[in-house]
Structure 1
């Protein structure tokens, strides 16, 4: 037996492959890599949009809760605690609504005191009409029990309120209040 005899074990040396086969392999590897990268990018984008949607939904719920609490403050008044009530109203307001309420509060203050007015508001239902991370419009149905010197027996006023809430200084405040 000759020692120069080589045994063919069926293995193909990469250097022995035809150039077109090597080229095809590189293309397939490149395409697979592109598919993986595109899949990761797609998953990242979808994850980001889900996170954004959840952030907006969470902001809407927080603003709705703040609007409910604020509507109760806004629709409740005690002639014996007018200044305290006004401070609470102004503390939950911002922008256009805060300016408007500040300007009209002096006339309203005296009217409430003179008539010994009291009111207690209760939010029956609320819903988010539109929402973003920093601005939410909330619809509220409020029953308000009102008494004063000319009407000592309580009267129930049913109101619909459209309240625009803005995220300001880490909290939700009313910037617009409408009675449609």
Structure 2
């Protein structure tokens, strides 16, 4: 089985168990064994391997074993390289982790703010945003978030429960983020926790991942 076949056969696992196949005895092998084990035979038959060694080629056991071991070691080395050292997979995994981290940190910054530290919180959130979404956020916070937070003495804190890449492209990604948002106001001092999920689009801008879309689902 080729490396490609191994990967297709086990898409969900990181490593595949190697399988060793045993060559079964055939009818011809049995006939050779019977002939070799007759009354005139100087020694008992040794099965498939014994018949091969008794041919005119007369290969000796030690060289054959060494050749097999060399071939097996070479195949094992190639398999381990393909499985354990895949530069393309390592790069993709690194990019995916960076995208998930940026989406998670940006989501927390967007959904966490307090009426007492509103300007500071909004400024911190802006550092995670880019493109048209940054312009939209500036307008939205000034028209709705700031007045509402000050009027109700609102404080909200977001916590990402889990996140995973939904799409991964060169220079961009879409991350599905599951978040719990805890909110208090002057009228409801006890925290109200609301779970939600968001599709967060992130784009690399000058080497930094920035949120360019933020769509609740």
Same fold (TM over 0.5): yes
Spell out the pairing of 1:128-167 with structure 2 (5 A cutoff).
128-167=165-204
- 1:127 CA displacement: 0.5
Contact residue 130 and residue 138 of structure 1 kept, 8 A: yes
Counterpart for residue 127 of structure 1: 164
Counterpart for residue 116 of structure 1: 153
- 1:60 CA displacement: 1.4
Counterpart for residue 176 of structure 1: 213
Counterpart for residue 64 of structure 1: 100
Q: Structure 2: which 5+ residue stretches go unaligned?
A: 1-81
Give runs of ≥4 in structure 1 deviating > 2 Å. 50-57
Contact residue 59 and residue 133 of structure 1 kept, 8 A: no
Whose strand proportion is higher, 1 or 2? 1
Contact residue 57 and residue 131 of structure 1 kept, 8 A: no
Contact residue 76 and residue 119 of structure 1 kept, 8 A: yes
Q: Distance in 2 between matches of 1:53 and 1:99?
A: 35
- 1:89 CA displacement: 1.2
Higher relative contact order (CA 8 A, sep 6+): 1
- 1:72 CA displacement: 1.2
* Bigger radius of gyration among the two: 1
Q: Distance in 2 between matches of 1:127 and 1:103?
A: 29
TM-score of the superposition, structure 1-length normalised? Answer: 0.69
Residue 92, structure 1, aligned to residue 104, structure 2: no
Residue 105, structure 1, aligned to residue 141, structure 2: yes
Q: Distance in 2 between matches of 1:56 and 1:175?
A: 21
Aligned partner of residue 100 in structure 1, secondary structure: helix
CA RMSD of aligned residues (A): 1.5
Q: Distance in 1 between matches of 2:125 and 2:140?
A: 12
- 1:132 CA displacement: 2.0
Q: Deviations over 1:68-100 (max 9, x none)?
A: 111111111111110111111111101121111
Pairs aligned (count): 132
Counterpart for residue 72 of structure 2: none
